[in-house]
Amino acid sequence: MLTLNLGTLSKNLTCFLNSAFTHNFFCIASLCGNPTHLLHFSTLVPSRSLLQTCESMDHLKQIHAFFIRKCLSSDPVVCSKIIAFCCTHGSGDMRYALHLFETMLEPNVFVWNTMVKGYSRVGSPGNAVSLYLEMLRNNVKPDNYTFPFLLKGFTPDIAMALGKGVHAHVCKFGFEFNEFVQHSLIHMYFMCGEINMARGVFDGSAKTDVLIWNVMISGFNKNNKFEESRRLFVEMEEKQIMPTAVTLISLLSAFSELKDLEAGRRVHQYVKDCNVIESDLLILNNALIDMYAGSGEMEAALGVFQRMKHTDVISWTSIVKGFLNSGRLDLARTYFDKMPEKDSVSWTAMIDGYIKENRFKDVLLLFREMQEAGDVKPDEFTMVSVLTACAHLGALELGEWVKAYIDKNRIKVDLHLGNAVIDMYFKCGNVEKAVAMFNHMPKRDKFTWTAMILGLAVNGHGRESLHFFSQMLRASETPDAVTYIGLLCACTHTGMVEQGRKFFTNMTALHGIEPNVTHYGCLVDLLGRAGRLTEAHEVIKTMPMTPNSVVWGALLAACRVHKDVEMAEMAATQLLQLEPENGGVYVLLCNIYAACKKWEKLGQLRREMMDKGIKKTPGCSLIEMNGVVHEFVAGDQSHPQSAQIYSKIEEVVGDLKLAGYVPDTSEVFMDVGEEEKEKSVSRHSEKLAIAFALMSSGPGFTIRVVKNLRMCIDCHEVAKLISRIYGRKLIVRDKTRFHHFMDGSCSCKDYW
């Protein structure tokens, strides 16, 4: 905090001229100045107008030295102008201002205000407050400029601590009705979230000045009180307060959030009726585009855009975002490619558009384009999106490269980005690095803990997941609904039925979280996998909400594991009522009929599928090799190395059969011979991906596969045998969980 040395105020000018401070000015003048410039100074009649030519601190010090040499440095006007330069100019120096301020015998309120303004400008509100208090101790009364200068520099914490006290001083000195002071008080109260206090100041004002309305609308927007902004707009119209460009921009921002097209069009009419200067018109048009695009009115947004004389990157980005929000990805890409210039916001918006459409390969291609363009550096928001794509593709190598890129380019790793790194590692099956990232994070929030709990659960570390939950509670972090989904998954994948039931009860009893349909789906899955199908069905019948396809799907999947045909038929019937075209239901029921040798029912169901044109969703597996993501579909031969891959599969199957492998064709429901059934299961997409990895990598390379469907029994057995015979670690992420294969066993312990 600033402490003024009051003793210096009694020093006379002679003492000042003999001080080391004065000597320093002469040194500066002689060493840093232009000699001919100083010679020119010496020929000038001493004049205060010299300070008007000042352009930098070096220039100011030369001028100051000149005044000292001419014995004019004690002139209060000279001192105040030098202080004003230090306090208000972009290259000013508050330490220099303070040194000079302390030499003044009786600085007037203008000089005190200038110092307060200077400290506010450089972000030192504590020093500004200390100086204000020193001003009062010196019996200098504040004027109508003091409080706006003081309040302008307040930060939220200073405002919370001192705001009301300063407000009391405003009233004490009689400035509570000064419009500039009122503006500053309203801004200060909004900054620290004291919305009612801000409203109180506004209600006590004359409300005739449009600027105070602007401060209120802006404050409500910043505090997400958009309805209040709309009410003020109505009140402004009733009082016939003419809005400015600033008013209209703030209102458009509020109406964009509210998706209020009617009010937005009224504002648009004001824009047409007012004489708006060119620079404001660009900002207003951008706000109009954002409002229309955000409300799904792309024709209106394009109309504004096409009539603009000048556009900028914000205009183009708003159009791109509008098409993305409307689900018109191709049109968004067309306008994106036409952009004359792009910034990190536009690149990230387009990348996010591909993520929403699950086009993760396109995300990585676009990110490469961004790097090749070279004119824009990605920020933390871009990197979160890229990491999300890597996570969904299971592309660990690319994800590691992104992490290294973040570290190398010193991109700010905030909580959001840190959580994205953890999620990427877990979804790529690298539990160790996810835990290491967690341990290195200086700050964590509930999303960090939840990512750990859910990530450990789906990777087969159920007990560790529950341990992290205990740590989360000890860290005084409150779990949410998603946290409990992670806990129920952990119990489901490890068969901890009673522990799972306890969590389901405690989420309401201990944390006041009402179970939603997803939680009930997890409970059904928990009971179903454990073979307690009747209990699972009872849960569905007693649910307080209508069960959805996820809930019935969990029961049907459990029926497949435990070969309960009757329950499976009932669950499938319910599912098909909700989703008549869901081919996966038919396929799953076919698998159950085949596994239970219900051939007549299988044939009848297959005929029904053919009559309805129901097709099986093809199995698809992704694998990353040398930074390139390869995609395989069951039975597909489109890969350039297809011949070698199928040859490798035959070789592997031969090796496995020597080790006792017998293909499991129980879930093949095609009406073909056993040899054809074996051939069919050998061409499953994950087998193609694993064969490609075996022929493309050396010993010790971990094979990572991401599959769109649940892994079949045969592929699961093959992966276990490959891990033992070939000494490889395999990680397969299927539709429901991870399978970590090593030394002939799986992390799921065959419970999946």
**Does 88 share its domain with 129?**
no
pLDDT of 493 strictly over 90: no
pLDDT attached to residue 634: 87
Would you say 318 and 289 are in contact if contact means Cβ atoms under 8 Å apart? Answer: yes
For residue 159, tell me if it sits in a domain.
yes
Residue 669 pLDDT: 59
**Cβ atoms of residues 587 and 616 within 8 Å:** yes
Last residue of a domain, one of 189, 222, 254: 189
Q: How far apart are CA 679 and CA 665, in angstroms?
A: 10
Per-residue pLDDT tens digits for 654-664: 999 998 889 88
Predicted local distance difference test score (pLDDT) of residue 64: 84
Distance CA 284, CA 260 (A): 17
Domain identity same for 629 and 664: yes
Indicate if 644 and 677 belong to the same structural domain: yes
Q: Is residue 6 part of a domain?
A: yes
The answer on 119 and 85 residing in a single domain is no
Position 579 in a domain: no
pLDDT (tens digit, 9 = 90+) per residue, 494-514? 889 999 999 999 999 999 999
Please determine, for residue 690, whether its predicted confidence score (pLDDT) is greater than 60: yes
Contact 385, 357 (CB under 8 A): no
The SS3 of residue 738 is strand
Q: Is the pLDDT of residue 20 over 90?
A: no
Side chain identity at residue 365, one-letter code:
L
Residue 271 lies in a domain: no
In a domain, 241, yes or no: no
Q: Which of 447-451, 634-638, 669-673 has the lowest mean pLDDT?
A: 669-673
Q: Does one domain contain both 151 and 67?
A: no
Q: Which pLDDT score, from 0 to 100, does residue 751 have?
A: 67
366-373 long-range contacts, CB within 8 A, separation 24+: 373/342
Who's near 732: CB < 8 A, 6+ residues apart?
Answer: 686, 704, 705, 706, 707, 711, 715, 719, 738, 739, 741
Whether residues 174 and 149 fall in one domain: yes
622 beta partners: 631, 706
Arithmetic mean of pLDDT over the chain: 87
pLDDT tens column, 554-593: 998 888 888 888 898 899 899 888 888 888 888 888 878 8
Same domain, 21 and 91: yes
**Final residue belonging to a domain, choices 37, 71, 104:** 104
Query: What are residue 55's phi and psi, to 5 degrees?
Result: -125, -20
Look at residue 127 and tell me whether its pLDDT is greater than 60: yes
**pTM of the predicted model, to two decimals?**
0.75
Whether 16 is covered by a domain: the verdict is yes
**pLDDT (0 to 100) of residue 276:** 73
Answer whether residue 105 shows pLDDT above 90: no
Containing structural domain, residue 117:
106-189
Domain-embedded: residue 631: yes
Which residue reads 């307080």 in tokens?
A: 544
Say how far apart CA 699 and CA 729 lie, in whole Å: 10
- 727 & 632 share domain: yes
Same domain, 9 and 98: yes
Residue in 544, 537, 535 with CA at minimum distance from that of residue 517: 544
- Label residue 462 exposed, middle or buried (CB < 10 Å: 0-12, 13-18, 19+): buried
Q: Pick from 104, 129, 147: which residue ends a domain?
A: 104
Other C-beta atoms lying within 10 Å of the C-beta of residue 413: 19
Q: Is 165 contained in some domain?
A: yes
Same domain, 79 and 157: no
Q: Give the model confidence (pLDDT) of 274-297 as tens digits.
A: 877 777 889 999 999 999 998 889
Domains of the chain: total: 3
Residue 6 has pLDDT above 70, yes or no: no
Same domain? For 56 and 159 the reply is: no
> pLDDT tens, 426-449?
999 999 999 999 999 999 999 999
Predicted confidence band of residue 670 (pLDDT cuts 50, 70, 90): low
Q: Which residue would you say has higher pLDDT here, 19 or 47?
A: 47
Please check whether residues 647 and 713 belong to one and the same domain: yes
The DSSP code sequence of 93-150 is -HHHHHHHHTT-SS--HHHHHHHHHHHHHTT-HHHHHHHHHHHHHTTPPP-TTHHHHH
Q: Which pLDDT band holds residue 454 (cuts at 50, 70, 90)?
A: very high
Q: Which long-range contacts (C-beta less than 8 Å, at least 24 apart) are formed by 659-667?
A: 659/721, 659/724, 659/725, 661/717, 661/718, 661/721, 663/714, 664/712, 664/713, 664/714, 664/717, 665/714, 666/594, 666/595, 666/713, 667/591, 667/594, 667/595, 667/712, 667/713, 667/714
